[in-house]
Amino acid sequence: MKVIFSRELRSYFQTMLGPVFIAVLTAVTGVYFMVTNLINGYPYFAATLGSLLFMLMVAVPILTMKSFAEDRHSHAEQLMLSAPVTVWDIVLGKYFAMAAVFAIPCLLFCLCPLIIQTGGTASLGSDWAAIGLYFLLGCAYIAIGMFLSSLTESQLIAAVSSFGVLLVLYLWDALAGYFPTSARGNLVGMLVLAALLAGLYYALARNPYVAAGIFLVLAVVIVAAYLIDSSLFEGLLEKTLGTFDIYSGFVQIANYRLLDLTAVVRYLSLAFFGVFLTAQSLQKRRWA
C-alpha cells in the first residue's frame, strides 16, 4: 500500500492537478476569509467554511476523476490487478493519496483562526473542530468520487457523475420535503428503494439471480410489514432517508459552534462505504 500511496501522491504533483486543486481551494477560501472575517469582522472562521461547501462539491470530483478512470483508459489497471498486491492495498493507497492532497489546504486553513486572534477575539476550539469536520466531509466526498471513477474509463464521466451525486446530497434536506407522507406512497417508495439496492448489487456482482433474490426478500418483508400495520409507513421515507442529510452536523458547528459527534460518525461511515464499494468494483474486474 505504501508503494501505491507514494506513487499516486507523486503523480498528483508531477502534473498540475494537485497544485491547481490546492491553489484554487486555498485562493477561494482566502477570498471568503478576507471578506467575512477580516473586512466584515466576523470572528468565526467556521462560518466561512460553511459558505464553501458548494466549492468543495465542485473541487473534489476534479481531484478524484482520474483515480481509477485513467488507469482503465490506459490499461494500467491490468498491470495493477496482476501485481502481487491486494485490492484493498490498491484502493487504500489511492484513497489516502487523495486525502493527503486534500489535507494540505486544510492544514493551511488552521492558520486562519490564529490570524483572527491577532486582531481580536477568536474561537480557536470551534474553528479548528470545524476544519477537522470539513476534512472528514471532504474525505467522504473523495470516497464517493473514487467509487464512481472506478465504474468508468472516462474521466469526464467520472467527474460529472461525482458532481451529480454530491449535488443530490447537497440538496438532500430540501428534497426530503417532497417525499410522500401517505402510507401507500411510502410503500411504493420503499419498494423502489429495495429495487435500487438490488440494482446496486447487480452493478457490482453482475449476478442477476442473487440481485432478484435480494429484491424479492426485501419486497416480501416490506409488503408484510405494511399489511400488519400500515401506519408505520406514514412518513417513513422522510424519516429513513433523512438520516442521509450530511450537512446538518456541519451547520451546527458553522452557525452555533456545536460539534455534532453523529456527523463525525456519518462522515466516517460514508467514507468507509465508498471505499468498500470501490474495492468490490475492482475485485469484480480482477476475477473477470
Write down the pTM of the prediction.
0.86
Cα angle for residues 232, 234, 237 (degrees, 5° grid): 100
- Helix intervals (H) in 110-170: 111-118, 124-149, 155-170
What's the average model confidence in pLDDT over 37-47?
84
Distance CA 33, CA 39 (A): 9
Q: What is the pLDDT of residue 242?
A: 67
| Between 155 and 179, residue with greater pLDDT | 155
pLDDT, the chain, mean: 84
- Residue 92 gets the label, from left (phi > 0), alpha (psi -120 to 50) or beta, of alpha
Digit-coded pLDDT (tens) for 48-83 = 888 888 888 889 999 998 888 887 777 766 767 676
Count of residues for the chain? 288
Digit-coded pLDDT (tens) for 89-144 = 889 999 999 999 999 999 999 998 898 888 777 788 888 988 999 999 999 999 99
Which grid cell is 136? 472528514
Confidence of residue 252 (pLDDT cuts 50, 70, 90): confident
Tell me, what amino acid is at 6?
S
Asked if the model's pLDDT at residue 190 lies above 70, the reply is yes
Residue whose cell numbers read 448489487: 201
Digit-coded pLDDT (tens) for 194-245 = 888 888 777 766 778 888 888 899 989 988 888 888 888 887 777 777 667 7
Report helix, strand and coil shares of the chain as percent, to nearest 5: 80, 0, 20
